[in-house]
């Protein structure tokens, strides 16, 4: 989840959050020693995953670390992980992400080595265009090279809103609620969810 920052965002924050979440799960535990070995610059950003001794070892490996090394280490690590597990990396609200995350997405899309890795990113195109955010330029360039697919998502139909209301409130929900939600929100999924949450 990318978050809106008033100042400079922390480099790679959404990817670090995703990796940290994965590493905390029992199935993701093997990721921790792999990160410590192959991507010490990354695991150093998540010190809570390591014991004090492990963290000290990682800090010794950080000598001479550069931004380029951090990017290269993550590419190699994701490839190594994808040899053992199929990875789906979902990044939301990329119109708020930091430039480093855009660089990582660019590098992942251009890799030629096979990997069982799918990156799904969401962003509000209008916000990205208005802010002249690098993610808009990246998607345009990658689309032109056939390295990504962009799926524009429109507003929810009246039927889709009704299905969502029924899933949330049960089959006893009044059809009037669905119609009112569709009318007030224009079918925007975020607004539908928010308005129903505050109902």
Summarised one tens digit per residue, pLDDT across range 167-190 is 988 887 787 888 899 999 999 888
Average pLDDT, the chain: 87
Convert the pLDDT of each residue in 9-29 to its tens digit: 678 888 888 888 888 888 888
pLDDT at residue 48 is higher than 80: yes
Mean pLDDT over 27-56 rounds to 88
* Nearest-angstrom CA–CA distance, 47 and 55: 7
Model-level pTM greater than 0.85?
no
* Nearest-angstrom CA–CA distance, 4 and 184: 25
pLDDT at residue 103 is higher than 90: yes
To 5 degrees, how large is the angle CA 112–CA 119–CA 109? Answer: 30
pLDDT at residue 123 is higher than 70: yes
pLDDT at residue 104 is higher than 90: yes
* Nearest-angstrom CA–CA distance, 17 and 119: 15
Convert the pLDDT of each residue in 64-94 to its tens digit: 778 888 899 889 888 888 888 888 999 999 9
If DSSP states are collapsed to H, E and C, what string results for the chain?
Answer: CCCCCCCCCCCCHHHHHHHHHHHHCHHHCCHHHHHHHHCHHHHCCCHHHCCHHHHHHHHHCCCCCCHHHHHHHHHHHHHHHHHHCCEEEEECCHHHCCHHHHHHHHHHHHCCCCCCEEEEECCCHHHHHHCCCHHHHHHHHHHHCCCCCCCCCCCCCHHHHHHHHHHHHCCCCCHHHHHHHHHHHCCCHHHHHHHHHCC
Sorting pLDDT into bands at 50, 70 and 90, what band is 7? low
Task: Provide the pLDDT for residue 6.
Answer: 62
């Amino acid at each position: 989840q990318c978050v809106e920052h008033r100042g400079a965002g922390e480099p790679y924050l959404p990817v670090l959050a995703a990796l940290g979440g994965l590493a905390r799960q029992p199935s993701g535990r093997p990721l921790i020693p792999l990160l410590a070995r192959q991507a010490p610059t990354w695991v150093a950003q998540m010190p809570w995953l390591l014991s004090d001794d492990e963290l000290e070892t990682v800090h010794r490996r950080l000598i001479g670390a550069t931004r380029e090394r951090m990017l290269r280490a993550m590419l190699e690590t994701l490839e190594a992980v994808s040899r053992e597990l199929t990875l789906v990396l979902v990044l939301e609200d990329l119109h708020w992400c930091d430039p480093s995350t855009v660089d990582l997405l660019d590098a992942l899309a251009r890799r030629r080595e096979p990997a069982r890795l799918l990156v799904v990113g969401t962003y509000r195109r209008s916000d990205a265009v208005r802010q002249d955010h690098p993610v808009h330029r990246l998607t345009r360039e990658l689309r032109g090279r056939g390295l990504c697919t962009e799926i524009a998502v429109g507003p929810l139909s009246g039927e889709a809103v009704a299905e969502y209301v029924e899933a949330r409130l049960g089959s006893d929900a009044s059809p009037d609620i669905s119609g009112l939600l569709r009318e007030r929100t224009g079918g925007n999924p975020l607004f539908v969810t928010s308005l129903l949450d505050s109902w």
